[in-house]
Chains A and B, each alone.
Chain A
């Protein structure tokens, strides 16, 4: 049983590393904002999987990575939602506002 756990940890960690590499390629090779955002999420999933995988050992499963992964997922979700909204506004509204958001200009 304990050996199985350690083995499973290795599989998770290696899969995570592969995801990170895959996502990194996408992040570097793609130009479109949305595609890079998806690549960012692939890397993020890889990091979380790697993190979870390192928590497995012959002694059992370390709960700390799991707690941190959940927090990390929340942060990544917030960042993704915000970045997607920003990308949509850029595509629809152009680089700058027409003034409706900002009212009268000021210093």
Chain B
């Protein structure tokens, strides 16, 4: 049994099991969390030696469908497993067996595992159509979970997701018509033959995936959907779902179509990314609701991912700083997964405890909820990009790549984004420590719920402290520049 199939299949198996188990379905998370995390850890160890691959039924491409995990994929699978596990255990406090009977105690868990399965399938797939099916599974679960909060926001999200998937599918169809394959590595071999039609296909795929990633200016659906959802759902949507479509986008441009991205395409990505950072941060600063603030912060943080395209040189030729930019992308993806999930979980606990969702309601809450406030602070440190967190590593590597490649204007955007992140995150942090008295709070359903955001925040910090191993793993898949380590990436 191949490890990659196990990772993609295990959440699907738990999906079925949670449907069969009915009212006991919530308890499955006690098995699912350690099993899938252990599988992902095992895969990371194996990938350390060499990239892992496999083909369904033993049929190799072009006939069969190949699965593959490189270093980046392995790191993301592990981070995703950790984030989903902790969020799932947290969700026991709301959808677990000890809670009063409700429809959502039954519907949450299958959707949760479906989302997890979609994430894992996206991370191990290298076939455009396989990726389409995986991201549709992910989208349908994400929209259904978003409907737990606001149905109107979910319908708007659904429409964007539908339009995005049609554009992506049309792009994949045109690629097949032009090149006769959907496999990423075969596309890379054949793409130079038919530049014009592949470029149209790539534009459709990119547009569709940008809408699903909520890149500025296609971000409008994200803040209402993520802000209105229940705590655990917000964490899953903001930390995991939007990353999947970006990973596909990066794979298409860097692995499938290297050399196709001209200077114009790369600049467009860079400009949109920079605009997302500035726009998202400014709107986050102006928010008065805590969850809306965190949702706009996601819009801003997603912008950083698109800076990787200009910083890495679009994948056409491996430059000395490509490894740095690629590593920065991996760090940003994983650090944001951990920190954003932790931030949403902590925010949900604080809103429940304080009995109100405005930032003004948080006054003095650090004295009543010290553990949750510490977790909020740890996650905020990583999002701001302060050392020694994983977020710092990401922004540090991006900064080095920007300066080494002479693109100082992106360095300015990265620095300004960090400052603005500090500005919007210090707003709730300052409220937490304001005043003198200890506010009366509503008791949590379970005291250990406060541990979940703490674990995620600590993991985001640990990613920066122990950055050497993940970095080596993430850049190990790079063909040429993979040799350059952290030291060599410096100017």
Which A residues have a C-beta under 8 Å from some C-beta of B?
20, 27, 33, 36-37, 40, 43-44, 47, 50-51, 54, 64-65, 68, 71-72, 75, 78-79, 82-83, 86-87, 89-90, 93-96, 100-107
Contacts and interface: CB of A to CB of B under 8 A. Distances in A.
B150 A95 contact: yes
B152 A90 contact: yes
Contact of B351 (A37, A100, A107): A107
A31 to B, nearest CB: 11
B102 A79 contact: no
B349 interface: yes
Interface string B148-185: 11111011001100110110011001001100000000
A72 B169 CA distance: 9
A72 B133 CA distance: 8
B271 interface: no
Nearest to B129: A68
Contacts of A104: 99-100, 102
Contact of B155 (A27, A51, A87, A102): A87
A19 B78 CA distance: 43
Interface in B84-112: 93-94, 99-105
Contact of A95 (B140, B152, B166, B169): B152
A82 B94 contact: no
Query: Which one of B104, B163, B445 has the highest number of Cβ atoms from chain A below 10 Å of its Cβ?
Result: B163
Contacts of A95: 150-152
Interface of B: 93-94, 99-105, 129, 132-133, 136, 140, 143-144, 147-152, 154-155, 158-159, 162-163, 165-166, 169-170, 173, 176-177, 230-231, 348-349, 351-353, 444-445, 449
A47 B166 contact: yes
Nearest to B150: A95
A47 B162 contact: no
Given A102-B104, A104-B99, A106-B99, A54 B151 contact: no
Contact of B101 (A20, A90, A103, A106): A103
Interface of B is mostly: helix
B154 A86 contact: yes
B102 A103 contact: yes
Given A54-B177, A71-B133, A101-B104, A79 B155 contact: no
Nearest to B152: A95
B150 A75 contact: no
B151 A79 contact: no
Contact of B176 (A54, A82, A106, A107): A54
Contacts of A89: 147, 151
A43 to B, nearest CB: 5
Given A72-B132, A106-B99, A106-B445, 8 more contacts: A75-B132, A83-B158, A86-B158, A100-B102, A101-B102, A102-B102, A103-B104, A107-B445
B155 A54 contact: no
A47 B231 contact: no
A103 B105 CA distance: 9
A103 B136 contact: no
Contacts of B101: 103
